[in-house]
Structures are given as C-alpha cells and as structure tokens.
C-alpha cells in the first residue's frame, strides 16, 4: 500500500560498482572508435533494482551518491554481457565430433544426441550445465535452439528463468529428412510451438523464437505453419539456418524446385521479417544479401562452426556494407561451433576476416558480441550497453588472467582508447572463460570465478 510516511524507505535498492568500464554508443563499422566507444578508466556504475541508473566518472558520481554500497573491482575491466545469437542447447555434449561436413555431421552425430532430449529429467540436468557454461563464459543472453521435443525448450526456459536471464528459445520444427525418432509433423509442431509461446513468450525476461531447423528438414506445410505462427504472434522471432554448406544448398534447391534461391524458400512462407535471424549465410548471392538488408533481418556469424564444419568464410564486409547494411551478431553455434567462449569466437572471426583480406578491429568484434547482437535481436532498448534504463547484465574481465596474458597486458588499465584497443585485441586472441572473473545478471552476481 502507498505510504506517505517519509521515514519509510522507498522500495528502491541502489548499489554501485567501481572499476574501468567500456561499452558502445554506436556501430564501429560505420563510425570511428572515438564516436562509437565509451571508455571510463575509473568509473562508477549505479544500479537501481537491477537496471542501469547511471554510468560515469567515479569522482563525479561518488559525490552524488555518497552512501551507496559499492563493490570495487580494481585492475579489472567491465563491459556488457555477451549476447550469443545462435547456439544449440542439445549439442552441448557433442562439441568436437570428428571428420564430417554439415549433412553427414547432422546425420551421424547430431541427430542421435538430440534424441536424448525427449527425457525431461535429462534435459533439466543438461540445461543446468548449459546455463552454467554460458554464464562462466560471460554470456548473459542467447538465442537458443532446443531439440524437437517441447520438453527440451521448457528445460532451458525454466533454468534461465531461475537465473533471471534474458533468453530466447525455440523448439526446432522438423518433419522430414531426419530419423523417425526425431520428427514431428506440421500440425504437431504448430500446436506444440503455440503452447510454448503462450507459456513462455514475455514471461519474465524470456522470449520465443519459432524455429524451423532449416529448409531441408521441413515440408512446405511445416514452413507454412511457421509463417502462420508469426502472423498470430507478431512479436516472436523466426530463427533458422541459411546457406551454410554447398550440399545443403543443392538439396534445398531439389526439395523446393519452385524457389528462386535458398532465401526465397523462407520468403515464400512469410519467414523473412525484421525479427528473423539466419545463421551462417556463407554462400549468399548479391540478391540474397540485398533482400536480407531490405527486410532488416539479421545474420548470425558463426566463425568457429564455419571453420570446424568446413563450411566457408563469411563475407562480413558485404553484410556490414554502408550501402546495404545488415544486422550481424556473433554466435558460437555450439556444437558445430567449438567453444562457448565469445572471446574465442571473436578471435576466430578475426582470422576468418584475415583470410578474406579484411580487418576486424577489437571494437568491431566486441560490438558484434554485445550491442550489435542486441540490435540484431531488436533488444537494444533493453540489453547490450550501459545506457540508462537498460537491464544490468555485465561481465568483469581480468585481462591478465593467465601468465601469458599478464605478459601481453603488463598493465591492467588502459589510459586511452588506443591503449584499450590494444589490450582488448590481446584479450580476444588469448582469452577464454578464464578471462571472465564475474558475470552479473540483472544487477546481481550470477557467476564468480573460483
Ligand atoms: N543446419 C541444420 N541444423 C544444423 C545444426 O544443428 N548445426 C549447424 N551448424 N547447421 C545446421
Ligand atoms: Zn546452428
């Protein structure tokens, strides 16, 4: 009940974190580092009930909040939590399966493992490990593919809800070209997805993605059902794979002879929208890039997976061209991807660009892993930076976490943007989960390195 008694403490908890901070205020692909990066070498982040109230210079803000309980992280660097826009929950236990490219890898390794997720107890057990691994690697939001079984999506939703995380999840829809034990039907996938949306979409910080696995494993009827769900629930996402592997592209063309290209399969069923996220996009034509840009859809750049499965080198400079910009976010694509670490993923993104004679600065790489990913998910009003009012998901980096990193970064705190760029680049190349000292979710400590 509302009280007019001025002695009653208002229902607000303020607290603060002192350290060095950096985040993005704009896209470093289109403006300079000075215009896109905010860096505060001695800062104070003021939090109110899990949201960002203010970030500024320590001396200025400390004077305005004299009694605020403050946690200090000296010699550390704090940035927004990583946002991984494409990861497969059931593939956690099969990272590093030897020797195959996409279609054989799916048939020989992936599908048998995904069958285990029919069992809710098993899915619950793995969901805990999966979320622990995300937080340990500094990932505070992910767009997640579950298995075909709705229980597997429920397991991730429940665990993410317990940790107060902003997560996007979808059960995969797949009604052909997979083993019998792993397929649904168009109607069943529609019905099960609908129940999941009604149960979980916008429940706390959770959101739903309608997830036809890829064109090969869906009949036209199922893709139509996916389109119908997007019409009925206009603010859910569409999440799938696109143009990852040459054999996949050839088989897709055979299965959908009426389509002009791969993207057109999805277009025909109303699946190309501004809330669509397409993973890989390695072999796109100019026209496909153009249509993705026009639709304001997003691409998940999955460098470790694209290398591991021998899929190819993503054309980041085409996707991020000024003339035809597309939203791109970085993604691990575990278990085609080889690490949960977005630092390692950024490191491989750099190397992929090198092979294409392109340079990705540390700021561009980390933009793709934070604010750029949040923009790809249309969540940049909620996560991805320390802007006032956003949800306070952030990570504490120890850029001297290993002996070699300490040699490479002999001082912990950069004194200029140039020095920050140098230190961040070394951290991307040498870093992994050991670099993540702590992860905060909605203003609270969710993981601390032992
Ligand atoms: N295409 C369809 N399913 C998958 C998957 O599980 N992983 C990857 N990398 N590509 C896919
Ligand atoms: Zn994938």
Question: What is the full DSSP assignment across 365-411?
Answer: HHHHTTHHHHHHTT-TTTSSS--TTSB--EEEE-TT-SHHHHHHS-S
Q: Which residue among 87, 94, 241 is best mutated to probe the pocket of ligand 1, counting the most ligand atoms within 8 A of its Cβ? A: 241
Determine the distance separating the centroid of ligand 1 and the alpha carbon of 179, expressed in angstroms: 15
Q: What percent of the chain has pLDDT over 70?
A: 98
**Long-range contacts of residues 194-197, Cβ cutoff 8 Å, at least 24 apart:** 194/229, 194/232, 195/150, 196/150, 196/153, 196/154, 196/157, 196/170, 196/171, 197/229, 197/233, 197/236
pLDDT digits (tens, 9 = 90+) for 209-220: 999 999 999 999
Determine the distance separating the centroid of ligand 1 and the alpha carbon of 244, expressed in angstroms: 8
Arithmetic mean of pLDDT over the chain: 97
Determine the distance separating the centroid of ligand 2 and the alpha carbon of 101, expressed in angstroms: 13
Calpha distance 358→375 (Å, rounded): 23
Residue nearest to atom 8 of ligand 1 (CA): 336
Closest ligand 1 atom, residue 216 Cα = 2
State residue 260's pLDDT score. 98
Determine the distance separating the centroid of ligand 1 and the alpha carbon of 303, expressed in angstroms: 13
State residue 12's pLDDT score. 76
Q: Which ligand is nearest to the CA of 243?
A: 1
Q: Which ligand is nearest to the CA of 336?
A: 1
Determine the distance separating the centroid of ligand 2 and the alpha carbon of 435, expressed in angstroms: 26
Q: Which residue among 96, 102, 300 is best mutated to probe the pocket of ligand 1, counting the most ligand atoms within 8 A of its Cβ? A: 102
Calpha distance 337→299 (Å, rounded): 16
Q: Which residue among 88, 97, 301, 306 is best mutated to probe the pocket of ligand 1, counting the most ligand atoms within 8 A of its Cβ? A: 88
State residue 11's pLDDT score. 64
Calpha distance 307→310 (Å, rounded): 5
**In which residue ranges of the chain is pLDDT below 50?**
1-8
Ligand 1 pocket at CB < 6 A: 88, 102, 106, 110, 213-214, 241, 244, 305, 333, 336
pLDDT digits (tens, 9 = 90+) for 160-176: 999 999 999 999 999 99
């Amino acid at each position: 009940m509302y009280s007019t008694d001025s002695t009653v403490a208002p229902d607000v908890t303020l607290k603060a974190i002192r350290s060095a901070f950096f985040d993005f205020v704009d896209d470093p692909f289109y403006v300079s580092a000075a215009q896109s990066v905010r860096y505060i070498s001695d800062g104070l982040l003021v939090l109110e009930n899990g949201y960002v109230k203010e970030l500024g210079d320590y001396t200025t803000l400390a004077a305005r909040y004299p009694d605020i309980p403050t946690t200090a992280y000296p010699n550390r660097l704090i940035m927004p939590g990583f946002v991984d826009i494409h990861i497969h929950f059931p593939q956690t236990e099969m990272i590093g399966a030897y020797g195959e490219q996409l279609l054989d890898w799916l048939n020989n390794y992936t599908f048998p493992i995904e069958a285990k997720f029919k069992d809710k107890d098993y899915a619950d057990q793995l969901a805990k490990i999966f979320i622990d691994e995300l937080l340990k690697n500094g990932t505070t939001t992910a767009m997640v593919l579950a298995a075909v079984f709705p229980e597997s999506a429920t397991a991730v939703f429940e665990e993410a809800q317990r940790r107060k995380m902003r997560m996007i999840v979808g059960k995969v829809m797949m009604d052909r070209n997979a083993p019998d034990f792993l397929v649904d039907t168009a109607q069943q996938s529609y019905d099960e997805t609908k129940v999941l949306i009604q149960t979980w979409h916008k429940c706390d910080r959770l959101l739903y993605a309608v997830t036809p696995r890829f064109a090969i494993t869906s009949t036209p009827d199922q893709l139509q059902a996916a389109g119908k769900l997007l019409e009925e629930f206009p603010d859910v996402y569409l999440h799938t794979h696109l143009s990852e592997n040459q054999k996949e592209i050839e088989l897709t063309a055979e299965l959908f002879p009426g389509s002009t290209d791969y993207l057109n399969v999805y277009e025909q069923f109303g699946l190309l929208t501004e809330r669509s996220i397409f993973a890989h996009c390695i072999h796109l034509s100019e026209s496909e890039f153009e249509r993705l840009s026009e639709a304001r859809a997003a691409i998940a750049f999955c460098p470790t997976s694209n290398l591991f499965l021998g899929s190819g080198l993503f054309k980041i400079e085409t996707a991020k061209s000024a003339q035809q910009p597309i939203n791109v976010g970085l993604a691990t694509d575990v278990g085609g991807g080889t690490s949960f670490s977005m630092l390692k993923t950024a490191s491989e993104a750099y190397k992929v660009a090198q092979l294409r004679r392109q340079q990705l600065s540390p700021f561009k790489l980390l933009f793709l892993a934070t604010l750029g990913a949040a923009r790809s998910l249309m969540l940049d009003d909620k996560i991805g930076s320390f802007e006032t009012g956003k949800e306070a998901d952030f990570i504490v980096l120890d850029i001297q976490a290993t002996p070699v990193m300490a040699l490479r970064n002999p001082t912990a705190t950069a004194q200029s943007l140039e020095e920050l760029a140098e230190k961040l680049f070394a951290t991307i190349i040498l870093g992994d989960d050991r670099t993540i000292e702590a992860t905060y979710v909605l203003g609270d400590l969710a993981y601390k390195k032992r």
